[in-house]
Structure 1
Amino acid sequence: MNAVSTQQADETRYTFDDLAVVMGTYNEEEAIGSVLSDIDDVTDGRAEVVCVDGSSDRTPEIAREHGATVVEQEPQGYGVAVREAVLTPERPVVVTTDCDDTYPMARLPDFLDEINDGADVVSGDRLYFGADEMPGMNKLGNELFALLASVLMGKRVHDTTTGMRAYRREVLQKIRWTENTGLSAELLMRPLTRGYDVRERPIEYDERKGETKLDPFSGGAAIAKSIVRVAYEERFR
Structure 2
Amino acid sequence: MSKESTETEEQLTFDDLAVVMGTYNEAEAIEHVLTDIEEVTDGRAEIVCVDGSDDETPEVAREHGATVIEQEPQGYGVAVREAILTPDREVIVTTDCDDTYPMEALPRFLELVNEGYDVVSGDRLHYGAEAMPAFNRFGNHMFALLASSLMGERVHDTTTGMRAYRRDVVQDITWTENTGLSAELLIRPAMRGYRVIETPIRYAERKGETKLDPLEGGAAIGKSIVKVCLEERVKRLF
Q: Same fold (TM over 0.5)?
A: yes
Which whole-Å CA distance do the structure 1 matches of 2:90 and 2:4 have between them? Answer: 18
Instruction: Indicate the residue corresponding to 2:105 in structure 1.
Output: 107
Query: Match for 1:98 among 93, 96, 99?
Result: 96
Instruction: Indicate the residue corresponding to 1:229 in structure 2.
Output: 227
Instruction: Indicate the residue corresponding to 2:159 in structure 1.
Output: 161
Query: What are structure 1's unaligned runs of at least 5 residues?
Result: none
Tell me the CA shift for residue 5 of structure 1.
Answer: 6.9
Which whole-Å CA distance do the structure 2 matches of 1:23 and 1:5 have between them? Answer: 28
3-state secondary structure, aligned to 2:144: helix
3-state secondary structure, aligned to 2:186: helix
Instruction: Indicate the residue corresponding to 1:125 in structure 2.
Output: 123
3-state secondary structure, aligned to 2:27: coil
Aligned Cα RMSD in Å?
1.3
Which whole-Å CA distance do the structure 2 matches of 1:21 and 1:6 have between them? Answer: 24
Question: With structure 1 as the length reference, what TM-score do the two structures score?
Answer: 0.97
Q: Give 1:164-203 correspondences, 5 Å limit.
A: 164-203=162-201
1:17 maps onto 2:15 in alignment: yes
What is the total number of aligned residue pairs between the two structures?
235
Asked if structure 1 preserves the Cα contact closer than 8 Å seen for 2:129 and 2:137, the reply is yes
Q: Give 1:36-47 correspondences, 5 Å limit.
A: 36-47=34-45
Tell me the CA shift for residue 4 of structure 1.
Answer: 9.8
Q: Structure 1 3/175 Cα, relative in aligned 2: closer, same or farther at 3 Å?
A: farther
Instruction: Indicate the residue corresponding to 2:141 in structure 1.
Output: 143
Asked if structure 2 preserves the Cα contact closer than 8 Å seen for 1:133 and 1:207, the reply is yes
Asked if structure 2 preserves the Cα contact closer than 8 Å seen for 1:21 and 1:47, the reply is yes
Query: What are structure 2's unaligned runs of at least 5 residues?
Result: none
Instruction: Indicate the residue corresponding to 2:215 in structure 1.
Output: 217
Over the matched positions of the two proteins, sequence identity in percent amounts to 73
Letter of the 1:22 counterpart: V
Which whole-Å CA distance do the structure 1 matches of 2:35 and 2:53 have between them? Answer: 20
Asked if structure 1 preserves the Cα contact closer than 8 Å seen for 2:23 and 2:49, the reply is yes
Asked if structure 1 preserves the Cα contact closer than 8 Å seen for 2:179 and 2:221, the reply is yes
Which whole-Å CA distance do the structure 2 matches of 1:92 and 1:6 have between them? Answer: 17
Q: Give 1:66-105 correspondences, 5 Å limit.
A: 66-105=64-103
Which whole-Å CA distance do the structure 2 matches of 1:6 and 1:73 have between them? Answer: 39
Which whole-Å CA distance do the structure 2 matches of 1:2 and 1:184 have between them? Answer: 19
Tell me the CA shift for residue 81 of structure 1.
Answer: 0.2
Asked if structure 1 preserves the Cα contact closer than 8 Å seen for 2:3 and 2:196, the reply is no
Q: Structure 1 78/7 Cα, relative in aligned 2: closer, same or farther at 3 Å?
A: farther
Query: Match for 1:31 among 29, 32, 35?
Result: 29
Asked if structure 2 preserves the Cα contact closer than 8 Å seen for 1:2 and 1:195, the reply is no
Cα deviations across residues 127-175 of structure 1 (Å, max 9, x unaligned)? 0000000000000000000000000011000000000000001011112
Letter of the 1:214 counterpart: L
Asked if structure 1 preserves the Cα contact closer than 8 Å seen for 2:127 and 2:200, the reply is yes
Which whole-Å CA distance do the structure 2 matches of 1:48 and 1:7 have between them? Answer: 24
Tell me the CA shift for residue 53 of structure 1.
Answer: 0.1
Asked if structure 2 preserves the Cα contact closer than 8 Å seen for 1:4 and 1:195, the reply is no
